[in-house]
Amino acid sequence: MDEYNVARVKCHAHHRRDPTKISARNQFQGTVVEIVKGATTAHVRLDIGDAIVTLAITNAAVEELGLAVGEQAYAVVKASDAMLAVD
């Protein structure tokens, strides 16, 4: 299973089966498999079927959304640009 880290991309997790209407087209429904809280930021791992996506959101957002392992959530990615680098 591939793993993608979108910690530096602005991401929002919506804790609903039918998320609020939003213009972002990159929406991935999955299951929360891990939540690791830091001092202010939590890393939430979301299994979207063929990959695990890691999102960085605030600890407050984890609480407000009621996120827990096993719950369904959406990774919504909206980026104006992307970069690729090689050595």
- Could you read off the pLDDT of 15-28 as tens digits, one per residue? 345 556 777 778 88
HSE, side-chain direction, 13 A CA sphere, residue 26: 12
CA 39 to chain centre: 18
39-65: per-residue pLDDT in tens?
Answer: 999 999 999 999 999 999 999 999 999
3-17: per-residue pLDDT in tens?
Answer: 555 543 334 444 345
Give the number of other Cβ atoms within 10 Å of residue 31's Cβ. 14
Q: What is the pLDDT of residue 13?
A: 44
Q: What is the pLDDT of residue 69?
A: 98
Q: Considering only 30-34, 44-48, 83-87, which range has the smallest mean pLDDT?
A: 83-87
Give the gyration radius of the chain's Cα atoms.
13
71 backbone dihedrals φ, ψ, rounded to 5°: -80, 155
Q: Are 54 and 43 in contact (CB under 8 A)?
A: yes
Domains of the chain, by residue range, sit at 2-77
Residue whose token pair is 């992307």:
82
The CATH number of 2-77 is 2.40.50.100
